[in-house]
Amino acid sequence: MGTTPTQVMAFPNIRAIVRDNGTAEVIVAGNSRIVPAGESVQELRSNALALVVGEAQTLQRPVRVQIEDPEGHGELIVHPDNKIESVSYDPRQTRRRAEAPETTPQTVAPAIIETGAAPAPEPVATPTESAPAPSAAAPVNPQPWPTAPATATPEPQTAAVVEEEPPTRRSLKETSFLVSAPVLEPATQGWRGTLTRLGLRMDPSVEELTEREDIRTVSQHWPGPRTIAVVNRKGGANKTPTVVMLSAILARYSGAATVAWDNNESQGTLGWRTEKGAHDRSVLDLIDASTELLSPSTNAAEIAKFVHHQTADKFDVLRSDENEEGDHEVTAEEVDIAHQVLTRYYRLVVMDSGNTARAANWRRMIDHTNQLVVPVTAIEDRAEAARLTLQTLESRGGHDAELARNAVVIVSESTDAKRSMSGEALKRAKDEAQRIADGFAPFVRAVVRIPYDPALVNGPIRYEALQPATQRAWLAAAAAVAAGF
């Protein structure tokens, strides 16, 4: 005969605690046991459960264990034979995604209007019985909620005789045997994912469902090419890392041909932060070869002569001119030519930009843009430059103003406070990032916060080099951008 959860003793008191700093412990009757470190939080959970299984084997009976981690808390029954039962699990839903705010509006609950309690209706005697008189021993309770006003009883009317229509057959077009609702896949993350792998199927948490929805959003294919412009009139605002990260995520998940284009007037920095191919060609070389590249007889692989492929992140880079002796500035007509070539070979074009909103190539880039992205570090002069950039576009009206209103602002935490590593500095950095994000929120379509990550500071940028929280935040940012297509 099996053991039910109510029959399992709560002694000894066992707690399994996994922390977001990569440590975990199992506390048995007040005695702490350090959980062996793992390469992931998931492995920490498995190691913690292994210690609890050992305790159950020592006692030769099932034990109760309280589980706690950043994603939620609950209670499990752990048996000596490794069988695990879930008694309860309560996920924490205080943060919907790592360092990222809501990108879709929440449903607002209807307002509750308070009204006085309606008086209890007088009892009405039926023809066969009389109404009893109220007694002091049995007081009449008032109605807890207001009731609808009484209406007069309508006079009886003679029912009309309706002839029944003969039954008709339904058309087979009106039915289907296909199941329209998708099957919900079990949890893969957190304690829920651990329990699923141990054989106890668990539904995913709200956080995991949100991440799945963001992945679905960035995995879409849209009819026709889409162009993203990343702009801020101030240098050091994180434009180039934003271009790289959006290109990497969109290319990885959608599988669509994606190119990151450094649309600087002269020399930009995108080529310094990405892999270099086996050649030195730039946008000027592509423009010179545009007639051949636009020819119907040209093979699609010929574009590889002019772009630099990112082997891990699966997108290409079109560099700006890096000739130190050159003084050529890209014109508006050349932007048209390069954009025509790229949209023939790519479905997604992500454009880096210079700092001059009056430049001809900057303004023509805006003409080709479907979605505007404004990156800003959490420093007030970068934020002010971003505001002025949006204000300039809004003042021009038409397409430019529409881009400004539907822009996505990406706020990255300052690096200076992180280097000091003091708790007060870290708090100030987060507070300043939140202040700037809140300031932009009423004027644009979405605002997403990105935590500091040393992998974004110097050298070539790789998606896999980022910390998990940073990857999650950039996925949220890419989903906010893709939602504007």
Task: Classify residue 334 by burial, with Cβ atoms within 10 Å: 0-12, 13-18, 19+.
Answer: buried
What does the pLDDT average to over 68-87? 88
What does the pLDDT average to over 103-121? 41
What does the pLDDT average to over 9-23? 88
- The CA–CA distances, whole Å, from 391 to 48, 237, 325, 388 equal 54, 17, 35, 5
**Mean pLDDT of all residues in the chain?**
84
pLDDT of 355 higher than 50: yes
Q: Give the pairing of strands 14-18 and 316-318.
A: unpaired
Cβ count near 218 (within 10 Å): 23
- What pLDDT does 118 receive? 43
For tokens 């909103």, name the residue.
Answer: 357
Separation of alpha carbons 48 and 200, rounded Å: 17
3-state helix, strand, coil in the chain (%, to 5): 35, 15, 50
Separation of alpha carbons 416 and 429, rounded Å: 9
**If phi over 0 gives left and psi between -120 and 50 gives alpha, with beta otherwise, what is residue 387?**
alpha
What does the pLDDT average to over 154-163? 55
Q: What is the pTM of this model?
A: 0.72
pLDDT-derived band of residue 255, with 50, 70 and 90 as boundaries? Answer: very high
Residue 442: cis peptide before it, omega within 30 degrees of 0? no
- The CA–CA distances, whole Å, from 365 to 228, 287, 350, 386 equal 9, 15, 11, 17
String of DSSP letters for 114-128: P-PPPPPPPP---TT
